[in-house]
Amino acid sequence: MRYAHTVERVRAAEAALMARLPQGALMQRAAAGLAATCARALSDLRGSVYGSRVVVLAGSGDNGGDALYAGARLARRGAGVAAVLLTPEKAHRGGLAALRAAGGTVVHGRGEGEQRIERADLVLDGIVGIGGQGGLRPEAVPFAAAAQRARERGGALVVAVDLPSGVDADTGEVHGAAVRADVTVTFGTHKPGLLVDPGAEYAGVVRLVDIGLGPELGEGRPGGRAAVEALQHADLAALLPVPTAESDKYRRGVLGVAAGSARYPGAAVLAVAGALHGGAGAVRYAGSAAEEVVRRFPETLVTSGGPAQTGRVQAWVVGPGLGDGPEAHRALDEALADDVPVLVDADGLTLLAQRGPVALEGRRAPVLLTPHAGEATRLLAAVHRGEPAEEVAHARLRHAVRLAEAYGAVVLLKGSTTVVVPAPAESARVHSARYREWPSFPVAGGTPVRVNPTGTPWLATAGSGDVLSGITGSLLAAGLAPVDAASAAAYLHGLAARTAAAGRSGTVPVAGAEPQGAPVTALEVAAAVRAAWRSVRAAG
């Protein structure tokens, strides 16, 4: 598991650790790790550190201190290091002295600063770290722009210190300008903003430097106080259900799918395809696309009636392609009346948005909502002012948390970074000043928000959401907790898309890298779930 902690947690952990260490020790650990990563990158890029051109962008806080000390280390190895100080009178004294003692120089004036940046082999972004508020301040913007030009024209490497300046550490939101990095060297733990878009995209490849914060952050428990976590192959291998000698179809899970309509039969076929590849023991389909479904997948048990006419199931998927007619409303009602976990997707979400959270009142079994940004907008409009979909996509954590709280449901918000938020009852919530206008962000003993690391732009294709619903439903029927089912399904779905696109076993390539391979269809994603599943089990 990869864990990320809020700024508040990081600061508390740092304070506790610093109290036991000599002054400045943590900063030296951070700078040493940072310099080592830069040295490796320079060696790869130009063959050696000696003679390379490095520019340090140093803000007024400790983030600038880290960057200056790392610059000093690189200067001692023969790099030509120049520092651009955003506020010279407030630059980190020790760091600046160390840089000068190692032969580094300070650049004066914006023009010279920009020129040096554009000619650099490596730019260290130490403008602002976890102490940052809002987007970059105006005085920093031209230097960030110069660094971007250097990347684009000269192939310079931009290395962000702790996080790309201008990215909100806790949420990944970007308000205004921010530095775009190739590599981010982060200290002690990941920050949520490095794992969630748009911040994740600004961060590039993230390298974690251990500065000894682990015990302070987790009290011995893995990820103890994490706000956000991302599954890795081994976590998934432990979650995926594997049949035993005693398994029958009910033990493996029977999923009900209420999807499709005369107008959209394809959504039913795709949801069932996802469900069958997601490992369900059996899939029961209820709806008007029964003929198409059984023709395509003869193993499906079908009825052209609604969920109430279907035999026993252990979970429902309701919504894809249902339309908005009376039959669709009935299907939603009947699925919600069943005392088993229900996943509501697509048209089901549109119907739910018309009724608001009251439609879920009285249910005891879990509800899992799987909106994209547009559907999330509609669901939120039922309880509050409607935020445009773009806003939802740019502030994914906050909106997903808000939705989970409003509907008392587990929420999987799809998109460039898919996030899965536990239902409020499952998460102990703490009201933090940073989220005053918003529902609380789950930290401190609560269940962390899961973010999916396997997403790929190839998934932006018609019907891929229907397949995701089917996979998720299958795992719900197998008895996985909704958060596990949703995050495991998103992981498999992304990996399957990568596998199908690349034409070979999927890996999780570095963030920000171009997606490999060629376009895929939703049905091919469903078919590739098997290969994804295999590669996960092999790694576990």
27 binds, among ligand NAX, K ion, none (CB under 5 to 8 A by kind): ligand NAX
Nearer to ligand NAX, 24 or 218 (CB): 24
Residue range at the interface with K ion (CB under 5 A); choices 165-173, 197-205, 315-323, 343-351 = 165-173
Report how far residue 536's alpha carbon sits from residue 491's, in angstroms, rounded to the nearest whole number.
Answer: 10
Residue range at the interface with K ion (CB under 5 A); choices 121-129, 194-202, 407-415, 431-439 = 121-129
Which amino acid, one-letter code, is at 393? A
Q: How far is CA 26 from the centre of its chain?
A: 28
Question: CA triplet 325, 470, 300: central angle to 5 degrees?
Answer: 85
132 is in an annotated binding site: yes
Beta bridge partners of 255: 283, 315
- Choice from 60, 165, 417, 487 touching K ion (CB under 5 A): 165
CB of 33 to ligand NAX, least distance (A): 10
Question: CA triplet 269, 275, 281: central angle to 5 degrees?
Answer: 125
CB of 412 to ligand NAX, least distance (A): 31
CB of 450 to ligand NAX, least distance (A): 24
The single-letter DSSP state of residue 446 is S
Closest CA to 343 of 450, 230, 485: 485
Report how far residue 494's alpha carbon sits from residue 484's, in angstroms, rounded to the nearest whole number.
Answer: 15
- Choice from 66, 125, 168, 235 touching ligand NAX (CB under 6 A): 66
The single-letter DSSP state of residue 25 is H
CB of 144 to ligand NAX, least distance (A): 10
Q: Is 288 in the site for K ion (CB under 5 A)?
A: no
Report how far residue 360's alpha carbon sits from residue 356's, in angstroms, rounded to the nearest whole number.
Answer: 8
- Choice from 19, 22, 89, 133 touching ligand NAX (CB under 6 A): 133
Torsion angles phi and psi, residue 431, rounded to 5 = -85, 115
Nearer to K ion, 166 or 442 (CB): 166
Q: Is 18 in the site for ligand NAX (CB under 6 A)?
A: yes
Report how far residue 393's alpha carbon sits from residue 230's, in angstroms, rounded to the nearest whole number.
Answer: 19
Q: Is 125 in the site for K ion (CB under 5 A)?
A: yes
Q: Is 56 in the site for K ion (CB under 5 A)?
A: no
Residue range at the interface with K ion (CB under 5 A); choices 163-171, 275-283, 359-367, 423-431 = 163-171
Q: Is 486 in the site for ligand NAX (CB under 6 A)?
A: no
The single-letter DSSP state of residue 109 is S
- Report the sign of the C-alpha dihedral through residues 154, 155, 161, 162, in that order: positive
Q: Is 129 in the site for ligand NAX (CB under 6 A)?
A: yes
- Choice from 4, 6, 8, 26 touching ligand NAX (CB under 6 A): 26
Nearer to K ion, 52 or 165 (CB): 165
125 binds, among ligand NAX, K ion, none (CB under 5 to 8 A by kind): K ion
Calculate the CA dihedral of residues 141, 142, 146, 149 and round it to 10 degrees.
80
- Choice from 55, 82, 117, 128 touching ligand NAX (CB under 6 A): 128
Q: Peptide bond before 457: cis, by omega within 30 degrees of 0?
A: no
134 binds, among ligand NAX, K ion, none (CB under 5 to 8 A by kind): ligand NAX
321 is in an annotated binding site: yes
Report how far residue 111's alpha carbon sits from residue 107's, in angstroms, rounded to the nearest whole number.
Answer: 10
140 binds, among K ion, ligand NAX, none (CB under 5 to 8 A by kind): ligand NAX
Provide CB contacts within 8 A for 489, sequence distance 6+: 278, 468, 471, 472, 474, 475
Nearer to ligand NAX, 116 or 137 (CB): 137
CB 318 within 8 A of CB 348: yes
Residue range at the interface with ligand NAX (CB under 6 A); choices 36-44, 122-130, 421-429, 507-515 = 122-130
129 is in an annotated binding site: yes
Which amino acid, one-letter code, is at 327? E
Mapped to the 3 state alphabet, what secondary structure does 35-72 carry? Answer: HHHHHHHHHHHHCCCCCCEEEEEECCCHHHHHHHHHHH
- Choice from 58, 160, 161, 270 touching ligand NAX (CB under 6 A): 161
CB 407 within 8 A of CB 425: no
Exposed, middle or buried by CB within 10 Å (0-12, 13-18, 19+), for 378?
A: middle
Sheet with 183-187, strands from edge to edge, namely 105-107, 80-85, 53-58, 122-126, 157-161, 183-187, 205-209
415 is in an annotated binding site: yes
CB of 443 to ligand NAX, least distance (A): 18
Beta bridge partners of 160: 125, 184
CB 7 within 8 A of CB 130: yes
Nearer to ligand NAX, 191 or 284 (CB): 191
Mapped to the 3 state alphabet, what secondary structure does 127-143 carry? Answer: CCCCCCCCCCCHHHHHH
62 binds, among ligand NAX, K ion, none (CB under 5 to 8 A by kind): ligand NAX
Nearer to ligand NAX, 127 or 290 (CB): 127
Which positions from 344 to 383 touch ligand NAX by CB under 6 A, shown as an x/- string?
A: ----------------------------------------
How many residues are recorded in the chain?
Answer: 540
User: Which positions touch ligand NAX (CB under 6 A)?
Assistant: 14, 18, 26-27, 30, 59-64, 66, 127-134, 136-137, 140, 161-162, 187, 211
Instruction: Name the binding residues.
Output: 62-66, 125, 129-135, 162, 165, 267, 321, 372, 414-418, 465-466
Q: Which residues are annotated as a binding site for AMP?
A: 414-418, 465
**Residues forming the site for K ion (CB under 5 A):** 125, 160-161, 165
Indicate the annotated binding residues for K(+): 63, 125, 165
